[in-house]
């Protein structure tokens, strides 16, 4: 039965790695070469045939499954569709297999399924395993409580956000990380709740306008969607 399991994983390998990984027009950075994983499976099988060490064999298979999951998470859907935020000044591309809420809403929500969207509507959100979603809204600095002409609004919003999160006991927050997204200043703070792992990302759009992104996944799974998140952020467009 164990020998059959090894063959099953080789077959599963062909299913798990998305077909679009073979298509350069859809995704340029998807690691479609799974030859090393197949070689590992064959080596495991050969070793088990000679040693019959089931425990070692199963441990090796667990490592292979982890590697397959890493390959799958790196192979994101092509960002073939565009969502336009209310007011039509901001837009972002998203995977063609995703769904989104009413684009007239003040908060644009995109997700891998309707279940992912539903998690954003809950007062006690729980993101299903394997699902991913992003909530987006665009606000002026003045709307966020930062008066115009009072200094650098991005730094002020960052300071206010960091200070307010320090007093929130419902979530566990990471240290703030400042970075650049498509040549725009950005701030990211990750956090974990009882049923969700998420982040707050603020991007400076210029003209004292800011886009706020809230990517969310099941606990322990946010990193699996990092390539999708970063690819989407790079497509964010603002035309005042």
Q: Are residues 9 and 126 in the same domain?
A: no
Q: Are residues 38 and 88 in the same domain?
A: no
User: Among 71-80, 143-152, 229-238, which is the least confidently predicted range?
Assistant: 71-80
Q: Are residues 168 and 90 in the same domain?
A: yes
- Chain-wide mean pLDDT for the chain? 78
Tens digits of per-residue pLDDT, 158-217?
Answer: 888 877 777 666 778 898 999 999 899 999 999 998 899 999 999 999 888 899 999 999
- Contact at 8 Å (CB) between 88 and 238? no
* Residue ranges making up the domain that contains 98: 81-238
Mark which of 52, 74, 96 sits at the end of a domain.
74
Tens digits of per-residue pLDDT, 92-103?
Answer: 999 988 999 876
Mark which of 53, 74, 95 sits at the end of a domain.
74
Give the Cα separation of 7 and 227 in Å (integer).
Answer: 30
Tens digits of per-residue pLDDT, 221-237?
Answer: 999 899 899 999 999 99
Q: Are residues 229 and 133 in the same domain?
A: yes
pLDDT at residue 3 tops 50: no
User: What is residue 204's predicted lDDT score, i.e. its pLDDT?
Assistant: 93
Q: Are residues 67 and 96 in the same domain?
A: no
Q: Are residues 68 and 86 in the same domain?
A: no
User: Which of the four pLDDT bands, split at 50, 70 and 90, describes residue 21?
Assistant: very low
pLDDT above 90 coverage of the chain, percent: 32
Looking at the structure of the chain, the number of domains it has is 2
Q: Are residues 66 and 101 in the same domain?
A: no
Q: Are residues 109 and 192 in the same domain?
A: yes
Mark which of 48, 74, 100 sits at the end of a domain.
74
pTM passes above 0.75: no
Q: Are residues 197 and 161 in the same domain?
A: yes
Q: What average pLDDT score do residues 70-93 get?
A: 76
Q: Are residues 91 and 202 in the same domain?
A: yes
pLDDT at residue 110 tops 90: yes
User: What is residue 148's predicted lDDT score, i.e. its pLDDT?
Assistant: 66
pLDDT above 70 coverage of the chain, percent: 75
SS3 labels along the chain: CHHHHHHHHHHHHHHHCCHHHHCCCCCCCCCCCCHHHHHHHHHHHHHHHHHCCHHHHHHHHHHHHHHHHHHHHHCCCCCCEEEECCCCCEEEEECCCCEECCCCCCCEEEECCHHHHHHHCCCCCCCCCCCEEEEEEEEECCCCCCCCCCCCHHHHHHHHHHHHHHCCCCCEECCCEEEEECCEEEEEEEEECCCCEEEEEEEEEECCEEEEEEEEECCCCHHHHHHHHHHHHHCCEECC
pLDDT at residue 31 tops 60: no
Q: What average pLDDT score do residues 108-118 get?
A: 93
Q: What is the CATH number of the domain that holds 232?
A: 3.40.1000.10
Q: Are residues 158 and 51 in the same domain?
A: no
């Amino acid at each position: 039965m164990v020998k059959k399991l090894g063959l099953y994983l080789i077959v599963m390998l062909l299913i798990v790695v998305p077909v679009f990984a073979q298509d350069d027009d859809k995704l340029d950075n998807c690691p479609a070469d799974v030859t090393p994983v197949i070689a590992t499976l064959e080596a495991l099988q050969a070793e088990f045939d000679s040693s019959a060490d089931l425990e070692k064999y199963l441990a090796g298979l667990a490592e292979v499954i982890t590697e397959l999951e890493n390959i799958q998470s790196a192979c994101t859907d092509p960002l073939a569709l565009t969502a336009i935020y209310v007011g039509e000044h901001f837009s972002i591309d998203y995977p063609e297999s995703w769904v989104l809420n009413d684009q007239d809403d003040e908060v644009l929500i995109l997700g891998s399924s309707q279940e992912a969207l539903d998690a954003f509507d809950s007062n006690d959100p729980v993101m299903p395993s394997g699902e991913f979603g992003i909530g987006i809204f665009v606000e002026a600095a003045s709307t966020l409580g930062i008066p115009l002409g009072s200094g650098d609004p991005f730094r002020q919003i960052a300071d206010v956000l960091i200070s307010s999160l320090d007093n929130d006991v419902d979530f566990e927050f990471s240290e703030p990380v400042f970075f650049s997204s498509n040549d725009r200043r950005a701030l990211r703070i990750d956090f974990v709740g009882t049923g969700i792992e998420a982040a707050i990302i603020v991007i400076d759009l210029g003209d004292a306008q800011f886009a706020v992104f809230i990517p969310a996944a099941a606990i322990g799974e946010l990193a699996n969607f990092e390539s999708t998140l970063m690819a989407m952020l790079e497509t964010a467009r603002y035309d005042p």
